[in-house]
Structure 1
Amino acid sequence: MSVDVVEVREPARAASLRAVWPAILGLAVVFLVEMLDNSVLNVALPTIARELNASTTALQWITSGYSLLFGGLMIAFGAIADRYGTRKMMLIGLTLFALANLAVLFVSTPGQLIAVRAAIGVTAAMTAPGTMALCFRLFDQENLLMRATSLIVTVGLVGMAVGPTVGGLILQVLPWQTLLVMNVPIAVLAIGCIRFGIPADDPAHRNRSPLDLPGALLGTVTIILALWTATLAVEEGWSEAAPWLAGAGAVLAAVAFVVRERRTAHPMFDFKLLKRPAVSASLAYEAALGLGMAVIGFTVTLQLQLVWGWSPAQAALGNLPQVVVMLAMGPFVEKFVDKLGTHRAGVLGASSFLLGLLIYGVLGRQGYMWIAIALALTAAGMRVVATIAGVTVMRGLPEDQTSIGAAMSDTSQEVAGSVGMAVTGTIVAAALGGSLITVGVSPAGIHTFENAVTTATLVLTALCAGLIVWAARRSAKSTETAA
């Protein structure tokens, strides 16, 4: 009987991307919305401040509220999805996500908008772990999984790069609420694609262990406090008590989480899985990408506009090398990995990423050509590494823990990105000691800003290099074990 069941289920695995294109489309747009949501709304903050009479603190919570809940809840929802159905969680999350975005039409105060953004963050966290987990469910063949993952990652990364430009163009002709309302038809499209394009959850492949609620709570508190510490460090500086208190709380919560997970009979996540080289290497690669992209994403636009006097539209066009390279690399990632192998391709991709960071830190101030080269190299490296890490971490986990594995991958990049922002913001703020707006007023201000950017970039490049070297060694061990 069991043999018959396997033979019936096997054809559900696709033999090509075209055979499951609705599912790939649905997962791609889900990932796109996750990448776009905060970056698109950021361009509307001045307009929101005027129309809702929002204070600086309220504006910070409009963005931070989403980020904290989105990053903090992914692991918990990943664990829930593994137990109750990844596809079911994705469909529920998308439905609530659409309703939460639609609620912006009834917003009239900053507090109401903060509540809406918090709800959007929660619902986005419900959908995030399922993107890679459901993609993993579609294919048996490694090359098809690599190709599908590459496509989904490209859509998200390109969307993140062009998001502010798209948001700015929309604001020229439509009210700011449009930036959230436009997520509704996207969510409806994703619901239809996933509902009809991906098979229903198979109860036989669910995680049967009870959900560790105390562990889920401690894990969520740890991530939220870690993200909040980074946010406070940028906004208030380390001279204030708030970031130190939040950081201490994050450490205590993390210790309690580890102790709980090691002692309970049914941990939310088995830490023994982190000993698997493929899993730990992938998470380290993801963290390195988060650190590096934080400094480039934060400082390139400031350099172009505040120092060189470019308009916002020109600065947006200045980021095009990233978009062009990500799109151009698409057809070649799979061939690149097939020819070199996962380990060597990951090392070369990470080396390209590091070289781009180094060029930006040392030569970025010399002219736009160097920034364009840096953007192209980091984009090429990120395109390769993100695809490999996404596939490898899923292959390294049991099938009943793929959702929480995907959540850990996303969370590692999210937390690392916040750490990168905190490091960059702290160094720049300490060097300037004043407002960023006045950077370009005097040669001394420009020189100080550029020195701070160089320092921040080199510090984060060194941290990225450490993570990448460690990840490469773990990846080599994984390759040896497989051989």
Structure 2
Amino acid sequence: MTQPSDARDAPSRRTAAGVLALACAAQFMVVLDVSVVNVALPSIQAELRLNAAWLPWAAGAYALAFGGFLLLGARLADLYGHRKVFTAGLALFTAASLAGGLAGSGSLLIAARAVQGLGAAVLAPITLTVLTTTFPEGPARVRALAIWTAVSLTGGAAGNLLGGALTQALSWRSILLINVPIGIVAAPAAARLLTATATAGRGRQRLDVPGALLATAGLTGLTFGISESRHGPGDPAALTALVVALTCLAAFVLVEARYASAPLMPPRLLAARPIAIGNTVMLLAGACFQIPMWYFLTLYLQNVLRYSALQTGAAFLPHTLLTLTVGLQVTPRLMRRVDSRTLITAGALIAAAGFWWQSRITPDSTYLTGVLGPAILISVGGGLFNTPLTTTVTSGVPTADAGAASGLMNTAKQLGGVLGLAALTTLAPGTSTQPHTLTTGYGHAFLACAALLTAVAALARTLPVAHPTPSPPAPPPPRAPHQQDPQQAT
């Protein structure tokens, strides 16, 4: 008897493991570069003589392009295939990393970081898409998503650690150049591993160019406008960007609903309750877990506690280890016994308690009381929170829309971080150098994160209940060599 077609088409265990490793390596690079520059900013400013007003854009240009182009990058994979789009995004990201590492001026560095963000916008959604199309729903996908989520979460914390170590031991340039050998190794692996899992070419469908332009302009303008609003609520550049952004996003919704034949964001996705509410939760949580936590804690360690770049990076090691442990070992086991909604709610509340504790910092706080204690709660909460949420917003999505769903999730997470940082910086001191003033401002930002995550926990209770993932069935006992398979006998 012949095997069913889905069994024949299913990738081998070795291929699936290779796809998982490839997706995680690419995602690690993408997330790493969100935070890896933070610790190196003083060194970059000193060597390139970058004006203080432009210094934030050494980090912000990446986030701006990343958030603005995510929806477009995600839909490319659905239309043109996984291997082709993955390779293109990887090549662009690697080349921009090389250009940034060799940049001789601040303007060249900022431009390279923007192109890096564009490559990341193409690469990040496809890393999740290849996992959801390689691993069927069930324990195997939960395990794969747990590993991918843990890598995503630890990439940010590792960025501070790696950035501090490389900056102090070598140069700030090494934090960008390190991506080059990874990209060179990953490219042939992608060509080999993604052949069997690539989406059948849909190039005959026209890319939604009007939707792509409107989404990119709207998301980029929104990110820029919120970022510039830190200069004051009446800043002309911020107001102009926000008006343009809202106009473009309204036009984008109209185009997607009525005119696009292959929309970047199919309206049927947002009609699904888990996707709509889940991505709202992802957006709000990203305003705390993503860039803001690393940013404000880095400033507290360097500006108040006077840590060096290497010490600052090492201070994030507990975040990395705890997130990995909880995300890889604890959460997948709990998901077999506890529904996802409960885990998401519990994770948000535990992390909220951690941010509240973090808000109690003073200029005289020690590492144990001011950093390590809150880190335990924040990392445990994040580890419990992210995998069930990622599973919720990607379950039940047709293969043809897998890229769009991945792009929406990554867009929500990335924009949450960028918009959260812009909003929270209004609570932190601007030009003050007084430790007490600085600490008070950082504390207010952490307290706002605690309040927001408490609201996230309440919103998570409106998610539909997702039943626990059953444990995989035990393998059948091995047959003796002389026994014949009953199916083969027929």
Give the TM-score of the pair, scaled to structure 1: 0.87
Q: Deviations over 1:82-126 (max 9, x none)?
A: 111123200121123222222346532322222222222211211
User: 2 CA distance for matches of 1:203 and 1:403?
Assistant: 10
Counterpart residue identity of residue 244, structure 1: L
Q: Deviation per CA, 1:248-303, whole angstroms, max 9, x where unpaired? A: 22222221212222221523212232121221232123223211224432322333
| Partners of 2:224 and 2:241 within 8 A in 1 | yes
Q: Secondary structure at the match of 1:474?
A: coil
CA 1:232/1:376 → structure 2, altered by over 3 Å: closer, same or farther?
A: same
Query: 1:419 and 1:68 mapped to 2: Cα distance?
Result: 10
After superposition, what is the alpha-carbon deviation per residue over 1:391-424, rounded to whole angstroms, capped at 9, x for unaligned? 2222132211111211111111111112221222
CA distance in 1, matches of 2:105, 2:299: 30
Corresponding residue of 1:244: 239
Query: Which of residues 316, 320, 324 in structure 1 aligns to 2:321?
Result: 324
Counterpart of 1:131 in structure 2 is: 127
- Among candidates 295, 299, 323, match of residue 298 of structure 1: 295
CA contact (8 A) 2:359 2:444 kept: yes
- The CA distance in 2 between the partners of 1:125 and 1:288, in whole Å, is 20
Shift of 1:332: 1.8
Gaps of 5+ in 2: 469-490
Work out whether residues 226 and 415 of structure 1, in 8 Å CA contact, stay in contact via their aligned partners in 2: no
Percent of matched pairs sharing the same residue: 26
Counterpart position of 2:385: 385
Q: CA deviation at 1:311?
A: 4.1
- Counterpart CA distance in 1 for 2:336 and 2:467 is 14
Q: Which has the higher helix share?
A: 1
Cα distance 1:112–1:306, how it changes in 2: closer, same or farther (>3 A)?
Answer: closer
Counterparts of 2:313 and 2:175, CA distance in 1: 18
Q: 1:258 aligns with which of 253, 258, 262?
A: 253
Letter in 1 for 2:212: A
**Is the Cα contact below 8 Å between 1:82 and 1:207 reproduced in 2?**
no
Which residue pairs with 1:467 in the alignment?
A: 456
Residue ranges of structure 1 left out of the alignment (5+ in a row): 441-445
Partner of 2:182: 186
In 2, Cα distance between the equivalents of 1:12 and 1:23?
15
2:397 alignment partner, SS class: coil
For 1:98-113, list aligned pairs within 5 A.
98-104=94-100, 107-113=103-109
Q: 1:202 to 1:300 in 2, by over 3 A?
A: closer
Letter of the 2:356 counterpart: L
Q: 1:458 to 1:61 in 2, by over 3 A?
A: closer
Q: Given that residues 104 and 116 in structure 1 are in contact (C-alpha distance below 8 angstroms), is that contact kept between their aligned partners in structure 2?
A: yes
Per-residue CA deviations over 1:131-185 (Å, capped at 9, x if unaligned) read 1100112212511111111112222322310222222222234343322221111
Q: Give 1:343's aligned amino acid.
A: R
Q: Residue 165 and residue 105 in structure 1: after superposition, are their counterparts in 2 closer, same or farther (change >3 A)?
A: closer
Task: Decide which moves more: 137-146 or 360-369.
Answer: 360-369
Whole-Å separation in 1 of the counterparts to 2:318 and 2:121: 30
Distance 1:290 1:98 in 2: 26
In structure 1, C-alpha distance between the alignment counterparts of 2:172 and 2:387, rounded to whole Å: 33
- For the residues of structure 2 that align with 1:264 and 1:256, how far apart are their CA atoms? 11
**Cα distance change of structure 1 residues 113 and 230 upon mapping to structure 2, 3 Å threshold:** same
Q: RMSD across aligned C-alpha pairs, in angstroms? A: 2.8
C-alpha deviations, 1:33-84, integer Å up to 9, x for none? Answer: 0111132223333333333332234433332222211111110111121111
Corresponding residue pairs, total: 463
The Cα shift of 1:370 comes to 5.2
Conserved 8 A contact 2:324-2:383? no
- 1:220 aligns with 216
Q: Residues 23-42 of structure 1 correspond to what in structure 2 (within 5 A)?
A: 23-42=19-38
Asked whether the equivalents of residues 64 and 224 of structure 2 are also in contact (C-alpha less than 8 Å), the reply is yes
